[in-house]
Amino acid sequence: MQNILCFSHLHWDFVYQRPQHLLTRFAKENRIFYFEEPRSGNTDFYEISLQDGVSIIKTFLDDTGDHRNLRLEKLINKVLEDQNIKIYSCWYYTPMALEYTSHLKPKVIIYDSMDELSAFRFAPPQLLELEEQLFSIADVVFTGGHTLYQAKKNRHHNIHPFPSSIDKHHFKAARYNTVDAEDQIHIPNPRFGFFGVIDERFDIELLREVASKKPEWQFVIIGPVVKIDVNELPRANNIYYLGPKNYSELPYYISHWDIAMVMFAINESTEFISPTKTPEYLAAGLPVISTPIKDVIKPYGELDLVYIADNAESFIAYAEEELKKDSKKEWLTKVDAYLANESWDNTFEKMNQLINNIKSTKGIYV
């Protein structure tokens, strides 16, 4: 089996998303070592655990010490020595990892640019410069959506768009589930739901306005709150913040929603996103109202699979239209036809083929 060292800005157990979907599939044919960003500790050390076939590496650094990146290099080298890793590829989710991995000698370098990280709140100032370095050494680049691909396509000779995909069987179970989650069973209908990270991308003001104008509608918000003050979130009797949930639990919640929301603000942090939740909601059989995110408008909005609302008035109008419908059968047929060939398995196969092509060109046995 081949060794792949993955360096990510996301903790593995934070939210189950693109890295987990892809790397658990790559782990069936490779030894995957997933390095999380370092945590603070009393001394420099690392911990390793196996989750879903992936070795999760948690590194800890004594913040009182100097030469942070050099000490992190030493920890990485110790992992390689302890795990007997001599030949490997490197997979990057964050260019920031170049600060402590430039000493490595990988056979193949993969950059999966899932988001425009430089546009996110608290992005390090050196991120863009390091990304340019990563483009210069990467053998292949993937982007998390078509809009991001258009923005970066001229920066690398071997770059490919891979928008958010879906685990259809997982979310399709929501169509048949009859058991409601305990912490939302008391919430009346109609229910409007959102799951995901609640940060600077979340449209706080849209939620506040719609909830105020339609007090008889209930809004269920699932996910961790990060990088924003929790006190900024709108509070009302018809808004329920249920906190983070495990990926396995999501179908139980969304199966009892009436309409799902892709409620993102339109700002620099959302210009290039391709929300994974869009196809997940659709697979669950839920009507979706989204703000005008480019990678939702095209293809979902253009195919009339998702409502696109650019303000509270249009959001309410679309919701009222949807709630009056007697049948979703024709729409679900369209949804299932569109999602028929969409899966993380297919995305994995295409990515794996591109990586194997590089190995073949370099004379690396696959």
Q: Are residues 40 and 110 in the same domain?
A: yes
Q: Report the DSSP beta bridge partners of residue 288.
A: 260
Residue 211: what pLDDT? 98
57 and 188: one domain? no
Cis peptide before 124 (omega within 30 of 0): no
**pLDDT value of position 365:** 63
Looking at the fold, whether 159 and 172 belong to one and the same domain comes out as no
**Total-model pTM:** 0.91
Query: 177 and 245 in one domain?
Result: yes
106 in the same domain as 6: yes
pLDDT of residue 353: 97
Q: Do residue 145 and residue 214 come from a single domain?
A: no
Q: Which tokens hold the place of 159?
A: 């770059």
Q: How far is 331 from 305, CA to CA, in rounded Å?
A: 7
Please give the residue range of the domain that contains residue 277: 168-339
Q: What is the pLDDT along the chain (366 residues), one digit of tens a residue?
A: 799 999 999 999 988 999 999 999 999 999 999 999 999 988 999 999 999 999 999 999 998 878 889 999 999 999 999 999 999 999 999 999 999 999 999 999 999 999 887 777 666 888 889 999 999 999 999 999 999 999 999 999 999 999 989 999 999 999 999 999 999 999 999 999 999 999 999 999 999 999 999 999 999 999 999 999 999 999 999 999 999 999 999 999 999 999 999 999 999 889 999 999 999 999 999 999 999 999 999 999 999 999 999 999 999 999 999 999 999 999 999 999 999 999 999 999 999 999 999 999 988 764
The residue among 15, 9, 14 whose CA lies nearest residue 35 is 9
**Distance in angstroms (rounded) separating the CA atoms of residues 295 and 298:** 5
Q: What is the pLDDT of residue 164?
A: 84
- 313 shares its domain with 172: yes
* Amino acid letter for position 37: E
Residues 16 and 157 grouped into a single domain: yes
Region of 139 on the Ramachandran plot (φ > 0 left; ψ -120 to 50 alpha; else beta): alpha
Tell me, yes or no, whether 227 and 322 share the same domain.
yes
Please spell the DSSP secondary structure of 251-310, one letter per residue.
HHHHTT-SEEEE-B--STTTTT---THHHHHHHTT--EEE---HHHIIIIITTTSSEE-S
Pair (143, 69) in one structural domain: yes
Q: What is the CATH number of the domain that holds 310?
A: 3.40.50.2000
Judge if 194 and 330 occupy the same domain. Answer: yes
pLDDT given at position 116: 81
Task: Look at the chain and report how many structural domains it folds into.
Answer: 2
| 217 and 307 part of one domain | yes
